[in-house]
Amino acid sequence: MGMKYRMTMGIVLMIVLLLGTALSETFLVTSDLHLTEDRAAHDPALDAVTAMAAGYDGVLVLGDSANNAHDEEHAYVLEFLGSLGRPAYVVPGNHDITRALHPIDFVELYADYGWGAAFSRDDASASCAVTTAGGTCLLLIDTNAYTDLESVAPLGGIPDATVEWVASVLDALPPGTPVVACGHHPILPPESRDTPNAGKLAEALRQGGAKVYLCGHDHGFAAVNIDGLQQITVGQPHAYPGWAGALTVDDDGFHWRVAELYADDDPVWLALEESAAALGVGIGRGVLTDTPFEGDEAAAQWFAEAFGMLQRSELTPEACERLLSDPAADTWRAITTKTIIRDWMFGILEQCPQDVREIIVN
């Protein structure tokens, strides 16, 4: 490490030690805005996030803020971030960095949202580490894989050098410093992810004492805890069920809950609910088409119910057991074609996912 890096780290760590970590701070968390030039399609969700942000100390945006990395889209993202009235921190997603916008350009463009205040920056990627006013260390990790900085792999990838950088930052932090790691791509469970070095990054986080990793990319909410590392995947604010995430960091640990962005009678919420219900039934009917069970409405509705409960994080062990024992489940088990969706749903029901609505990590 260079002398400049060591001096910067020393100053920041001294400040953290003097301030301590007694303060409690809260973060509003969202992801995958996928903003385009069609403002009418995005403004209602952005307005909801902006209104909600007023009650939080900071906002975390977990990648794919733009849809095609066009200048106009990034200008829209920056306008939104500037409207929040709170410190905001951004990680790049695979839609944010393309041939139109390289990682170096991203760091410069979003200097006010992490990199400008960073006490450490990774030379191998658009990753940095920031200490917040409340003493939390935010690891903003670039999980994208690049080819000569000109193309981006959709499923991401973490360079060995970035994993080493993460380990070095965590190793230098004072004991007891709360750490929130943020990236765009999920990394757990590593064996089910096609993200190179996902397992190495997860292990570096664990070894360094990090307990929480926040991510997006999958466009839905999910949670999994493997060997003490709690991964929470955050969905879109403009998609059902209309949630953002709320993370409180204090002396007791990390308290996560979902934050409902819309009232039950909000036209935006009603439209999201209607489209989600139609999507669940549509997927079910579509998979059953051209099988011996085409037109089996009970089977289609079974899938729609399971799909909706998954989106709302209502798949308790009791609910999973009920759905798996339903006669309609036997219909789905008998399908021999289009098995990807079938296997995906049964994999979820048989494992019974962690409830993402409220999670406490000590």
- The phi and psi torsions of 54 (rounded to 5 degrees) equal -60, -25
Peptide bond into 196 cis (omega under 30): no
Q: Is 12 helix (H, G, I), strand (E, B) or coil?
A: helix
In this structure, is the dihedral angle defined by the CA atoms of residues 202, 28, 116 and 37, taken in order, positive or negative? positive
The predicted-structure confidence for 348-359, as pLDDT tens digits, reads as follows: 999 999 999 999
| pTM, 2 dp | 0.92
Q: What is the DSSP letter of 310?
A: H
Q: Where are the domains of the chain?
A: 3-261, 267-351
Phi then psi dihedrals of residue 192, to 5 deg: -105, 5
End-to-end CA distance of the chain: 32
pLDDT in tens, 108-145: 999 999 999 999 999 999 999 999 999 999 999 999 98
Considering the chain, what percentage of its residues have pLDDT values greater than 70?
92
pLDDT of residue 271: 96
87-109 tens-digit pLDDT:
999 999 999 988 777 888 899 99
Q: Does 3-261 carry CATH code 3.60.21.10?
A: yes
**pLDDT tens-digit readout, 192-228:** 888 999 999 999 999 999 999 999 999 999 999 999 9
Chain Cα centroid distance, residue 193: 15
pLDDT value at position 206?
98
Provide mean pLDDT across the span 59-80.
Answer: 96
pLDDT at residue 22, as a whole number: 53
pLDDT at 102: 80
Quick one: how far is CA 271 from the chain centroid? 23
Specify the pLDDT at position 10: 45
pLDDT digits (tens, 9 = 90+) for 276-332: 999 999 999 999 999 999 999 999 999 999 999 999 999 999 999 999 999 999 999
Biggest CA pair distance of the chain: 70
The backbone torsions φ and ψ at residue 247, rounded to the nearest 5 degrees and listed phi first, read -120, 120
Nearest-CA neighbor of 178 among 27, 29, 21, 12? 21
What's the pLDDT at 155? Answer: 85
pLDDT value at residue 305: 98
pLDDT-based confidence at residue 233 (cuts at 50, 70, 90): very high
For residue 3, the model assigns a pLDDT of 36
Residues 6+ apart with CB under 8 A from 151: 98, 99
Q: Kindly state the average pLDDT of the residues 174-180.
A: 96
- Reference 12, options 138, 106, 143; nearest CA is 138
> Is it the case that residue 64 has pLDDT exceeding 50?
yes
Return the structure tokens found at 304: 């729609």
From residue 251, how far is each of 13, 20, 173 by CA, in Å? 18, 10, 16
Calculate the average pLDDT of the chain.
Answer: 92
| pLDDT score for 148 | 62
pLDDT at 8 exceeding the cut of 80: no
Given this model, what pLDDT does residue 150 score? 61
- Is the pLDDT confidence value at 15 over 60? no
Q: Residue holding tokens 């409830």?
A: 355
- For the beta carbon of residue 83, count every other beta carbon within 10 angstroms: 14
Would the pLDDT of 85 be above 60?
yes
Amino acid 19: pLDDT: 46
